[in-house]
Structures are given as C-alpha cells and as structure tokens.
Amino acid sequence: MRTIAAVTAALGAVTLLAGCSTPDTAAPDSGTGELTVFAAASLKTTFTELGARFEKDHPGTTVTFNFAGSSDLVAQLTQGAPADVFASADTGNMTKAVDAGIVDGAPVDFASNTLTIVTPPGNPARITTFADLAKPGIQVVVCAPQVPCGSAAEKVEKATGITLAPVSEESAVTDVLGKVTSGQADAGLVYVTDAAGAGAKVTSVPFPESADAVNTYPIAALADAGNGAAAAQFVDLVTSTAGQEVLSSAGFTVP
C-alpha cells in the first residue's frame, strides 16, 4: 500500500509540474483584438465593407482604419505610427515602406485603378476631353504630385503633352472629389471608383489617355504589427475571391 501511495504521489507531482511548466512554443495568435489598417483614401468604401466582414468572421476583433493619401500614410508609418496593415494606391509608396524596413514579407498587388474626369452634375463647363481641362478659365483640381492620383495625372500630362494649371492640389483623391461636389471647381481628376461612389453628385467624363496611367494597389502586413495573425488574415481576405468581388463591384480591376 505504501508503494502504491508513493507512486501515486510521484505521478501527482509530475502532473502538477507539467501543468505549471511553460511550453517550448507559444500558442498561435488567434488574431483577435485590435487590428489597425492604414489604407489609401480611394479604398475607404471597399475596405470599410471588408472590415465589417472581417469583424463578423473574427469575433473579438475590432478593425480600425486610417484612410489618407498614400504618401501621408507612409510618412506616418516611417515616423513610428502603430499599424498592422498598409494598403497603398501605388507601388511607389509601398516601395518606400519596403525600403524603410517596415513591411513584413513581400507586398501583394490586389487591384488597379485609372483616372477619370468628374464635373458637377450636368457638366456645366462642357468638358468632354482631357485637353478641355487646360482651357482658359476652367478651374480644375488635382491631387498633389506625391499622391498616387497626382502622379497618375502627371503621367497623363506627359503622355498627351498637355499641361494643366490646377487651382489647387489636394493631399487625397477624396479631397479632389469634395472640391467638385461642393461646386468649388469645374472639374477634377479622380479614380473611376471615386466617381462611381459619388453617384449622381458628379458627372463622369472618361478619357482614353487615362490608360497611360494605371495605378496598381499593393497590400502588406507590417513588420511591427501588434496583431500579426489578424494582419495576415486581413491581407488574405482582401486578396481572396470574396475580397476581389467587393473591389470589382466598386470599379477596381484586376492588377
């Protein structure tokens, strides 16, 4: 009886020690908690929808977005702003993030976008071509050159040999759209997705030269992500069939 009792006590001690010991490898991150996504302003509608879907599919996760011009987002990130995912409206600003060492792994291209002209409803200035934007008296608004939509506008200018004289250069494509919808400009250069999202608030004027400046959108998890598991899962959602359907319905095309 004493032998059995001793063995039982020993086994109990081993079990207790095993229960208190620390495993060699940590349990995988479930991805729950806070997820912060820095995304180009032109992604606001689609990413807000995808964020809601992500929260539904991952109970316990809250997705927070920072939408702005891609160049502004890179500046914030390189200065230490905390975030888990970065989605840029062009490869140039993503390259800046990669070169700064703040990206985890290789970025993935997930969408592309092109420019279109938008005017107030009814197109009162009668703008029908890209060249019309350079006519005297036409108040046109564009994105600043460092912003992807501004860089695309410059590419069109070079391809056509037409130089614009904008009345203002905005830090995000949504700001350009705002100037047009508020009647502060005769026309603006925005992405086709922004024009589609504005609906009846603008008249869209497509122009063939926009094909000379197609922007590709890359996305990546960040090296210092506080929620690496959720970051990877969000990237997977954006690049999945479901994510691509949301983007396609908004006017984005396959990169």
CATH for 196: 3.40.190.10
Q: How confident is the model at residue 232 (pLDDT cuts 50, 70, 90)?
A: very high
In a domain, 26, yes or no: no
Residue 17: the pLDDT is 38
Cross-strand pairs, 28: none
> Is 21 domain-assigned?
no
What pLDDT is recorded for position 30? Answer: 52
Task: Specify the amino acid at residue 61.
Answer: T
* 83 occurs within a structural domain: yes
Residues 203 and 151 in one domain: yes
What 3-state class would DSSP assign to 33? strand
Q: How many Cα atoms within 13 Å fall on the side-chain side of residue 10? A: 6
- The per-residue pLDDT for 12 is 43
134 and 45 in a common domain: no
Same domain, 122 and 207: yes
Q: How confident is the model at residue 13 (pLDDT cuts 50, 70, 90)?
A: very low
**Does 105 share its domain with 129?**
no
Asked, for residue 17, whether it belongs to a domain, the answer is no
Report yes or no on 132 lying in a domain: yes
H helices of the chain, where?
Answer: 2-20, 44-57, 70-78, 91-99, 148-160, 173-181, 192-198, 228-239, 241-249
The CA distance from 147 to 162, in Å, is: 20
Query: Is residue 118 domain-shared with residue 54, that is, in the same domain?
Result: no
**210 plus 135 within the same structural domain:** yes
Together in a domain, 56 and 178: no
CA distance 143 to 159: 18
For 76-99, write each residue's pLDDT tens digit.
999 999 999 999 999 999 999 999
Q: 191 - beta bridge partners? A: 115
Domain count for the chain:
2
Same domain assignment for residues 106 and 221 = yes
In a domain, 140, yes or no: yes
Give the pLDDT confidence of 160-209 residue by residue, as tens digits.
999 999 999 999 999 999 999 999 999 999 999 999 999 999 999 999 99
Indicate if the pLDDT at residue 21 is higher than 80: no
Q: Is residue 221 part of a domain?
A: yes
- Asked whether residue 173 is marked as a ligand-binding residue, the answer is yes
Report if residue 25 sits inside a domain.
Answer: no
Residue 53 sits in the same domain as residue 173: no
151 known ligand binder: no
**Residues 95 and 105 placed together within one structural domain of the fold:** yes
Q: What is the pTM of this model?
A: 0.84
Q: Is 248 annotated as a binding-site member?
A: no
- Assess whether 172 and 244 both reside in one domain: no
119 and 209 fall within a common domain: yes
User: What is the extent of the structural domain holding 156?
Assistant: 113-214
What confidence tens digit (pLDDT) does each residue in 39-61 have?
999 999 999 999 999 999 999 99
74 is in an annotated binding site: no
Residue 188, judged by CB atoms within 10 A of its CB (0-12, 13-18, 19+), counts as: buried
pLDDT in tens, 113-150: 999 999 999 999 999 999 999 999 999 999 999 999 99
